[in-house]
Amino acid sequence: MGSLIRLNSSHKVHFLFVFLKIFQEGIILALQELWGNKLRTFLSLLGITIGIFCVISVLSVIDSFQQGLVKSFDKVGSNVLHISKESWDFQKISTNWWKYIRRPYPNYREFTALQNKVQSADAFNIRAFKGGQKFQHKNTYVQNGFILGTNYDFARMFDLEIEYGRYFTQEEMQTGRNSILLGPVVAETLFPSAAYAVGKEIKHQGRKLKVIGVIKKEGESILGNNFDEATIVPYNYFRKYFNINSKRLTQIISARAKDGVSLDEMREEIRGVMRGQRYLKPKQEDNFEINHLSLLTGMIDNVFNIVTLAGFLIGFFAILVGGFGIANIMFVSVKERTRFIGIKKSLGAKRIYILLEFLTESIILTILGGLFGLGVVYLLLFLGNRFIDSFELFMSYENAFWGILISVVIGVIAGFIPAFVASRLDPVEAMRS
């Protein structure tokens, strides 16, 4: 029994040694093939490279986008509902755009009613926007800026960070004091530096506003929630100088759910209060929308599903062409080395070793093509990050692994038949060729 175990162990060690030797020779032969027939091998590997590039680049962009989306969700809050006149579902808008245009925006009266009556929310925010504004400090101007009037809960709901200075106090918000927060782009335009702006005064429509803080720079965001170019004032200041009942004034109300309260529960409670404020009859449809960011992500997912399918189809056909190219190389390689195969078999080489030798060579070639494809993806993602600020492009280890795995599978499929043909050659006939 002990001798049998030693025999099995020695066979395993021998097979492992032979396999490593074959693997080493496969790498050498694959590199020799690549070097000896540069153009032919390059054109054959090009299909594998393009296929891996198409598949992995699409997967990497989608992963990068989804991670950026998650970060944007964390910034805005996934437990927040937004009451507006239009839906964030663009398919609805495209088919019923006239209905949405005629609707009124939410107003301050509805905001106070929601604050008093909705028990499932722990914070409410109202935001009024006005574009085309001019801001001045001495002889420096900002043209076509936009001003945002909001209440105290704005910072809590949108996780607003102040880089210089401070946020509004409750008293400043309630009294509508002439205080203003500047986005970093506005501050750097009006002043020598953003930090220099704090404590200074700027003019807006002939009125002086004291700068109490500068918002921390965020850069572009996937969801567009960016206040880098904004100016923020208390809502009670805003309503003194702008007609908040104007149909042209954009206003949005947002509500954040309490811990343990579902969005569906809060949505129904908000819906009931809003219908009551607008005196809608039971059979009348809502003339407002309660939106959630999932509506935007749902549409984006549909677009990326199409992009993913297109990328996989292009990648599949490119890999298919590349696979035929690799098979062609291997058949040529078998033909060129038929005599050496006969010599090896006459010296005692088993069929499995011949098969593994050519199969390993095929796999090495496809892995080289896959690595070239991954290298192109990495290079383009690196360059893309220099032009895209809304999210970071990256290639995960998982996607790189899938790229190599696909290459190995194609190598096995493309190289198996040539390797099998080589292993079945008759030694005598092979040596005579």
Divide the 433 residues of the chain into consecutive groups of 10 and give the mean pLDDT of each group. Answer: 48 64 67 68 80 86 75 68 82 70 87 92 90 89 89 85 91 92 91 89 90 83 66 92 82 89 91 92 88 70 75 81 83 80 75 80 85 91 80 84 90 88 78 72
pLDDT of residue 182: 93
> Closest Cα partner for 213 from 174, 254, 179?
179
Amino acid 269: pLDDT: 93
CA separation for the pair 378, 383 (Å, rounded): 9
C-alpha–C-alpha distance, residues 98 and 188, integer Å: 41
- Report how far residue 155's alpha carbon sits from residue 254's, in angstroms, rounded to the nearest whole number: 12
What pLDDT is recorded for position 296?
65
How far, rounded to the nearest angstrom, does the alpha carbon of residue 411 sit from its chain's CA centroid?
Answer: 31
Give the pLDDT score at 221: 56
Strands 230-234 and 140-150: what pairing? parallel
What is the reported pLDDT for 1?
Answer: 42
**373: Cα separation from own chain's centroid:** 20
Q: What are the residue boundaries of the structural domains of the chain, listed by start?
A: 23-71+298-432, 104-287
Chain Cα centroid distance, residue 266: 29
- For the full predicted model, state whether its pTM sits above 0.75: no
Tell me how far apart the alpha carbons of residues 163 and 111 are, in angstroms, rounded to a whole number: 30
- Say what the pLDDT of residue 22 is: 64
In degrees, rounded to 5, the angle at the alpha carbon of residue 377 between the alpha carbons of residues 373 and 383 is 145
pLDDT of residue 33: 62
3-state secondary structure the chain: CHHHHHHHHHHHHHHHHHHHHHHHHHHHHHHHHHHHCHHHHHHHHHHHHHHHHHHHHHHHHHHHHHHHHHHHHHHHCCCEEEEECCCCCHHHHHHCHHHHHHCCCCCHHHHHHHHHHCCCEEEEEEEEEEEEEEEEECCEEEEEEEEEEECCCHHHHHCCCEEEECCCCHHHHHHCCCEEEECHHHHHHHCCCCHHHCCCEEEECCEEEEEEEEECCCCCCCCCCCCCCEEEEEHHHHHHHCCCCCCCCEEEEEEEECCCCCHHHHHHHHHHHHHHHCCCCCCCCCCCEEECHHHHHHHHHHHHHHHHHHHHHHHHHHHHHHHHHHHHHHHHHHHHCHHHHHHHHHCCCCHHHHHHHHHHHHHHHHHHHHHHHHHHHHHHHHHHCCCCCCCCCCCCHHHHHHHHHHHHHHHHHHHHHHHHHHHCCCHHHHHHC
pLDDT at 314: 80
> What integer pLDDT is reported at residue 111 of this predicted model?
92
Tokens for 354? 């011949």
| pLDDT at residue 6, rounded to an integer | 46
